[in-house]
Amino acid sequence: MAKKKTIRTIPQDRTPMREQPAGERRHNFGEVACGYALEDAQREAERCLFCPERFCVQGCPVSIDIPDFIRKITEKDFRGAYDIITATNLLPAICGRVCPQETQCEGQCTVGDSLEPVAIGRLERFVGDLAVAEGWINIPPIEANAFRVAIVGSGPSGMACAADLAKAGCDVTVYEAFQEAGGVLKYGIPEFRLPNSVIDSEIGKLIKLGIKFECNTLVGRLFTVEQMLGEMGFQAVFIGTGAGYPSFMGIPGESLDGVLSANELLTRCNLMQARDFPRHDTPLELGRRVAVIGAGNTAMDAMRVSLRLGAEEVHCIYRRSKAEAPARAEELHHAEQEGVEFHWLTSPVELLDDGKRGVRGMRCIRMELGEPDDSGRRRPVPVKGSEFEFDCETVVYAIGTNANPILGQTSKLRLNKRGYIEVDEDLATSIMGVYAGGDIVTGAATVIEAMGAGRKAAASIKRYLGLRDSERVYRAAEPALFGIGERNYVRLHQSVDA
Amino acid sequence: MTLAQDKVAAQGYEIVTRLDFSETTFLLEIRHAALARAARAGQFVIVMSHEEGERIPLTLADFDRGRGTITLVIQAAGKTTREMQETCQVGGHLHAVVGPMGIPSHVGSSKKVVCVGGGLGVAPIYPQARAHKEAGAYVIGVVGFRSKALMFWEDKFRACCDQLIVCTDDGSTGIKGLVTEGVKQALAEHADIDEVVAIGPPIMMKACAATTKPRAIKTTVSLNPIMVDGTGMCGGCRVRVGGKVFFACVDGPDFDGHEVDFDDLTQRLRRYAPAERRALEHWRENCRMRGAQS
Helices (H), A309-445: 329-337, 406-410, 439-442
Say if strands B175-176 and B195-199 run parallel, antiparallel, or are unpaired. unpaired
A122-126, A395-399, A491-495, B22-26, range with the lowest pLDDT: A491-495
Cβ neighbours of residue B73 closer than 8 Å, sequence gap 6 or more = B21, B25, B26, B27, B61, B120, B122, B123, B124
B269 touching A (Cβ < 8 Å): no
B213 Cβ neighbours under 8 A, 6+ residues apart: B219, B258
Q: What is the pLDDT of residues A6-49, one digit of tens each?
A: 888 888 899 999 888 888 888 888 888 889 999 999 999 999 99
Residue of B nearest to A398 (CA): B234
Write down the pLDDT at residue A176: 95
User: Beta-strand (E) ranges in A34-103?
Assistant: none
> What class is the A32-134 domain?
mainly alpha
∠ CA A157-A158-A159 to the nearest 5 degrees?
95
- What pLDDT is attached to residue A138? 80
Do residue B71 and residue B176 come from a single domain? no
SS3 sequence of chain B? CCHHHHEECCCEEEEEEEEECCCCEEEEEEECHHHHHHCCCCCEEEEECCCCCCCEEEECCEEECCCCEEEEEEECCCHHHHHHHHHCCCCCEECEEEEEECCCCCCCCCCEEEEEEEHHHHHHHHHHHHHHHHCCCEEEEEEEECCHHHCCCHHHHHHHCCEEEEEECCCCCCEECCHHHHHHHHHHHCCCCCEEEEECCHHHHHHHHHHHHHHCCEEEEECCCCCCCCCCCCCCCEEEECCEEEEHHHHCCEEECCCECHHHHHHHHCCCHHHHHHHHHHHHHHHHHHHHHC
Residue A472 has pLDDT above 90, yes or no: no
Residues contacting A156, CB < 8 A, separation 6+: A91, A94, A183, A184, A185, A240, A438, A447, A448, A450, A451, A454
Question: What is the spatial distance between Cα A64 and Cα A36, in angstroms, rounded to a whole number?
Answer: 20
Check A245 against B233: CB less than 8 A apart.
yes
Last residue of some domain: B206, B222, B238? B222
Q: Checking DSSP bridges between strand B12-20 and strand B93-94, what pairing results, if any?
A: antiparallel
Q: Which residues of chain B have pLDDT under 70?
A: 1-10, 291-294
Per-residue pLDDT band at A279 (split at 50, 70, 90) = confident
Subunit contact B268:A406, Cβ cutoff 8 A? no
pLDDT of A480 > 90? The answer is no
Per-residue pLDDT band at A481 (split at 50, 70, 90): very low
Cα separation of B92 and B85, whole Å? 12
- The CA distance from B95 to A301, in Å, is 29
Across the interface, whether the CB atoms of A282 and B278 are under 8 A apart is answered no
Cα three-residue angle A163-A167-A173, rounded to 5 degrees: 50
Assess whether B125 and B194 both reside in one domain: yes
Give the pLDDT confidence score for residue A408 in this predicted structure. Answer: 85
Q: What is the tens place of the pLDDT at every residue in A410-452? A: 999 999 988 899 999 999 999 999 999 988 888 878 888 888 8
Cβ neighbours, 10 Å, residue A326: 18
pLDDT(A488) > 50? no
- pLDDT, tens digit, 9 for 90 and up, residues A451-462: 889 988 999 999
Residue B98's closest chain A neighbor by CA?
A: A216
Task: Please tell me whether residues B217 and B229 are part of one structural domain.
Answer: no
Cis peptide before A190 (omega within 30 of 0): no
Give the global pTM. 0.87
A residues 6-25 closer than 8 Å to B (CB): none
Cα–Cα distance, A211 to A205 (Å, whole number):
9
Q: CATH number of the domain that B16 lies in? A: 2.40.30.10
| End residue of a domain, out of B174, B197, B222 | B222
Distance CA(A218)–CA(A177), nearest Å, equals: 5
CATH number at residue B215: 3.40.50.80
pLDDT of residue B49: 92
Same domain, B196 and B232: no
Element (H, E) at A157: helix A156-167
Same domain, B242 and B272: yes
Phi, psi of B6 (to 5 degrees): -80, -20
Domain A252-399 coded CATH 1.10.8.60: no
Residue A242 — very low, low, confident or very high, per pLDDT cuts 50/70/90? Answer: confident
**SS3 assignment, position A418:** coil
Q: Report the pLDDT value the prediction gives residue A161, as an integer from 0 to 100.
A: 94
Residues whose CB is less than 8 angstroms from the CB of residue A289 and which lie 6 or more positions away in sequence, other chains included? A311, A312, A313, A314, A315, A391, A392, A393, A394
- Distances from the Cα of A305 to the Cαs of A206, A275, A293, in angstroms? 29, 9, 14
Listed by number, the residues of chain B in 207-226 with a beta carbon closer than 8 Å to a beta carbon of chain A are none
B16 shares contact with chain A (CB less than 8 Å): no
Whole-angstrom Cα distance, residue A387 to residue A365? 4
Q: Nearest CB to A283: which of B38, B232, B276?
A: B276
pLDDT given for residue A87 in this prediction? 85
Output the CATH code of domain A148-244+403-467: 3.50.50.60
Whether the Cβ atoms of residue A335 and residue A304 lie closer than 8 Å to each other: yes
How far apart, in whole angstroms, are the C-alpha atoms of residue B148 and residue B173? Answer: 6
pLDDT for the residue A103: 85
Q: Which of A255, A263, A267 sits opposite B268 (nearest CB)?
A: A255
In angstroms, what separates the C-alpha of B19 from chain A's closest C-alpha? 25
B106 at interface of A, judged by CB pairs closer than 8 A: no
* Rounded-to-integer distance, Cα A412 and Cα B122, Å: 35
For the cut 80, the answer to whether the pLDDT of residue A497 exceeds it is no
The model's pLDDT over A38-82, given as tens digits with 9 standing for 90+, comes to 999 999 999 999 999 899 999 887 789 999 999 999 999 999 999
Q: What is the DSSP string of A242-311?
A: ----B-----TTTTSTTEEEHHHHHIIIIIS-GGGTTTSS------SEEEEE--SHHHHHHHHHHHHTT-
pLDDT of residue B8: 43
User: Which residues touch A179 (CB under 8 Å, ≥6 apart)?
Assistant: A215, A216, B48, B55, B95, B96, B98
Q: With an 8 Å Cβ cutoff, are B52 and A264 in contact?
A: no
If one counts the domains in chain B, the total is: 3
User: What would the mean pLDDT of A233-241 be, rounded to a whole number?
Assistant: 95
Which chain A residues touch B44 with a CB distance below 8 Å?
A: none
Q: Where are the domains of chain A?
A: 32-134, 148-244+403-467, 252-399
Q: Looking at residue A469, what is its pLDDT?
A: 58
What is the model's pLDDT at position A444?
A: 78
pLDDT of residue A483: 37
ipTM value for the complex? 0.89
Establish whether the linkage from the previous residue to A278 is cis, with ω within 30° of 0.
yes
Strand partners, B75: B25
Instruction: Give the Cα separation of B74 and B56 in Å (integer).
Output: 11
CA–CA separation, A266 and A286 (whole Å): 12
Topology agreement, domain A148-244+403-467 and domain A252-399: yes
**pLDDT-derived band of residue A144, with 50, 70 and 90 as boundaries?**
confident
Neighbours of A5 (CB within 10 A): 17
Within this chain, do residues B89 and B110 fall inside the same structural domain, yes or no? no
Contact of A109 with A55, CB cutoff 8 Å? yes
Rounded mean pLDDT, A1-5: 65
The pLDDT, as a whole number, for residue B7 is 45
| Spatial CB neighbours of A470, under 8 Å, sequence gap ≥ 6 | A167, A168, A169, A462, A483
Tell me the average pLDDT of chain A: 87
Q: Examine the domain organization and report whether B109 and B94 are in the same domain.
A: no
Q: Is the pLDDT of residue A224 over 70?
A: yes
Range of the domain at B51: 3-101
Confidence of residue A1 (pLDDT cuts 50, 70, 90): low
Among candidate residues B85, B66, B67, the one with its CA nearest the CA of residue B18: B85
Best residue in B14, B31, B226, B228 to probe A by mutation, most A CBs within 10 Å?
B228
The per-residue pLDDT for range B158-203, each reduced to its tens digit, is 999 999 999 999 989 889 989 999 999 999 999 999 999 999 999 9
- Is any Cβ of chain A less than 8 angstroms from the Cβ of B240? yes
Q: Rounded to a whole number, what is the distance in Å from the CA of A419 to chain B's nearest CA?
A: 13
| The pLDDT of residue B294 | 53
Q: Does residue A492 register a pLDDT over 50?
A: no
Q: What was the pLDDT predicted at A155?
A: 93
